[in-house]
Structure 1
């Protein structure tokens, strides 16, 4: 809207003839308003000699054509208004009645022109509770523009438009105030007391498990597609909980150098998820399909933990999760020996990939693996696809070279790898990097790493590890990323 079409506000200025200086200042202010598209009615301009001043003031105060009455209040104005003397007193009788009768009126705008010695504004009693503009000498220049904005109804900080109703408030499982509080207070508490990280982490994971309990699924159908759809929906609904977990693991690994956590606390979380949610109780009537969502969740959380620990150089955590024994309470598995992170890979026991692949087929997604597709398609916003895929491949390699398990960890996502780069491996030419990451490979000396890399090359060269129906796309050995002869050859 240009100046020619914008409405011109019309104001009447009520003030006291305190002295010549005050009158001059009021005139200057009125001129400023006139120069800025505000029509001002002022006795100095609009009340010629011979006019009845009382009538002039009363007419303008009452007039419907006047949009605003600006009440410029200094010490003299406040005194005359309270004592009802002079022209000010006449105006006050009219204005105060309007103000008292309508507490919501905004036509009469107080403007404080002067404060007393204690900094208290001079205002008539009837205006003492009203919001005012401070145009005392030190604020007159800066606040005049605020008055101008008020008259043109163009506030400096306009009220925002009303947004849509936040539907997520109706979805009670999606937001977790307790977990959020642990995350928001983490930095302050750990900085103050680094040892508190263990207490904080135990409580975070305890509450995380409680919330995970809400995602138990019970299928009332045997229809494969209905189960697949229910599985996919359940996993999507748990995503906000996953994101809180990722954020917390990020915080733990970012402070590992000055506030190391007891890694057992993290490993125990995976042991608890495995034991509580992916195995039945003795005597329990169950369908294997009812564990599929937690099979996916367990794998996804584990891979994000590896991804984040590597990214934040917390290689000790990476090593601990990949090389330490696990104590998994499987009610139907009597063999309690040699449990490792490989036991977290539940393929063959729980048909998760099959159902997720069925979901993809039914929704016109031509995907070889539903498990791999879903892990990649829901990648967290802070991570690249290769960050996640590289962790999946690392788990596979470690399972072969350290644990010598011929089946190994199956990296469902390997076919989604976008580049030939794998930083953890390619940096092995650096002696200092080797020293930092040797714990992951469970070695002490360079020659041990060389032997494991050669073993990796032999194994993956023979087995062709990967999806059998994907031509020439198999899991590559470590030697594809680094030349064994160059290991630790640079500083």
Structure 2
């Protein structure tokens, strides 16, 4: 019959020196405590009968495969005898030391420190000085160290290596793409979690590196390959960095209430927008679609940032991103100001791809954005909500239109989005109103009634349903 965990009783031989009666009592106490923990302690007092050969007993205990562990209880006298190869301890040392240096048997032995010298140094035999020991010499730490001893005997360490995860997807998808942001991301998150004074600076540094290194995604057209395929491959290769950005942002928004956060992110989006256009100092021919992968990345990061901020109720961040215009360098080198809708540039190559593949999908951009939200902290519903809020804001304020790519899935939403469900509270709506660009709930209701449907065709959603129209501001 197989042995269960409950049946298992490890055998442990205890090697020690008969230093004094007090020490013998101390050793006996250790053996009794082990016995109470279901350990079969083998001790000469219990297991060596009068007239038996003590040397043979020691050899048998050390070499018997049924004896799983050997404890060496080292006090001052034991160490002296071991080093001088004196008496029974010396004989045991001659038996044990070769086994300790054997690769196969080294794990069978452990030294237990019983006492220390006048300088607080543990008594250790010469042959054991470089090895890890268990320390029962300090009464204050006795219980902790005894637990360590039991864990060693039972091969049940307190810390166990976790299961190996999957190879990171970016290594499988495109090992050539590396934006070099991982170190800066870790530094920013660690600084935020520990509340370090330089936390905001570390976050700014991460965003700056990400913005500069996006240049590595720039596409060179390949002869004989459809350009829309190159755009999709580039967007796919960005996925691990999109996830990293989202994780950094989540930590930052959770651990810092700094009102500068919105301004910092606003500046970041001003930086990365420039990838959407021909560089103003670029000389040579180009096509407007050359920057389509950047336009996808820019839209996704802007939408995700607002999705996360709405989810975490960082409405201050959303307000800054939508209220303040963006200072952008256009192709001829002039600078001008644009509203946030500029972050949702048209991606012509995806229209071409849809025609080329004869796809029946309503919007390929929506498919890509929402598929990447599967299994993410920012869910599909979070992205749909943010797209709807940005669309409402642009329409209510008459700013540059934010075309919501994901509106084609609005028909699948059968309840109010969270921020509008919460806006049944007048207090919450007062915080949401500046984001929408309205002064009161009546302005919103008039617009929603006129709007009717959100989206087009059979997949359109009911704007009244999505805004929780009838419940808006009905309670304090």
Q: The TM-score by the shorter chain falls in which range? A: 0.7 to 0.9
Report the alpha carbon displacement of residue 351 of structure 1 after superposing the two structures with TM.
0.7
Deviations 1:465-489 (A, max 9, x none): 734xx33x436556973558x8656
SS of alignment partner, residue 273 of structure 2? helix
Tell me how far apart the structure 1 counterparts of residues 464 and 253 of structure 2 sit (CA, whole Å). 25
One of 406, 409, 416 as aligned partner of 2:402: 409
SS of alignment partner, residue 410 of structure 1? coil
Deviations 1:324-358 (A, max 9, x none): 33333231698x777322333322xx314325646
Report the alpha carbon displacement of residue 209 of structure 1 after superposing the two structures with TM.
0.7
SS of alignment partner, residue 110 of structure 1? strand
Equivalence map 1:333-412=2 (5 Å): 339-347=338-346, 350-355=347-352, 357=354, 366-379=360-373, 381-403=376-398, 408-412=401-405
Structure 2 stretches lacking a partner, 5+ long: none
Deviations 1:404-456 (A, max 9, x none): 66xx3221212323233034445555443343233224344x3xx53464245
Tell me how far apart the structure 1 counterparts of residues 58 and 474 of structure 2 sit (CA, whole Å). 96
Task: Please give the root-mean-square deviation of Cα atoms over the aligned residues, in Å.
Answer: 4.5
Structure-2 change in CA distance of 1:140 and 1:320 (3 Å): closer
Aligned to 2:467: 481
Report the alpha carbon displacement of residue 391 of structure 1 after superposing the two structures with TM.
1.7
Structure-2 change in CA distance of 1:14 and 1:386 (3 Å): closer
Report the alpha carbon displacement of residue 403 of structure 1 after superposing the two structures with TM.
1.1
Aligned to 1:290: 290
SS of alignment partner, residue 329 of structure 2? coil
SS of alignment partner, residue 439 of structure 1? helix
Structure-2 change in CA distance of 1:317 and 1:359 (3 Å): farther
Report the alpha carbon displacement of residue 185 of structure 1 after superposing the two structures with TM.
1.0
* Alpha-carbon contact 2:14-2:73 (below 8 Å) kept: yes
Does 1:278 pair with 2:272? no
Give the TM-score of the pair, scaled to structure 2.
0.76
Structure-2 change in CA distance of 1:215 and 1:358 (3 Å): farther
One of 451, 455, 469 as aligned partner of 1:466: 455
Tell me how far apart the structure 2 counterparts of residues 161 and 433 of structure 1 sit (CA, whole Å). 43
Structure 1 stretches lacking a partner, 5+ long: none
* Alpha-carbon contact 1:60-1:66 (below 8 Å) kept: no
SS of alignment partner, residue 221 of structure 2? coil
Structure-2 change in CA distance of 1:333 and 1:125 (3 Å): closer
Tell me how far apart the structure 2 counterparts of residues 434 and 69 of structure 1 sit (CA, whole Å). 71
Give the TM-score of the pair, scaled to structure 1.
0.74
Aligned to 1:217: 219
Deviations 1:389-409 (A, max 9, x none): 12212222222221166xx32
One of 164, 188, 204 as aligned partner of 1:182: 188
Equivalence map 1:171-320=2 (5 Å): 171=175, 173=178, 176-188=182-194, 192=197, 197=200, 199-200=201-202, 202-221=204-223, 223=225, 226-250=226-250, 253-254=253-254, 259-261=258-260, 263-279=262-278, 281=280, 283-320=283-320
Tell me how far apart the structure 1 counterparts of residues 399 and 59 of structure 2 sit (CA, whole Å). 100
Structure-2 change in CA distance of 1:156 and 1:338 (3 Å): closer
Moved more, 285-294 or 160-169: 160-169
* Number of matched pairs: 462
* Alpha-carbon contact 1:309-1:318 (below 8 Å) kept: yes
Deviations 1:347-392 (A, max 9, x none): 2xx3143256468867xxx521101111111116112322211221
Does 1:457 pair with 2:449? yes
Moved more, 203-212 or 311-320: 311-320
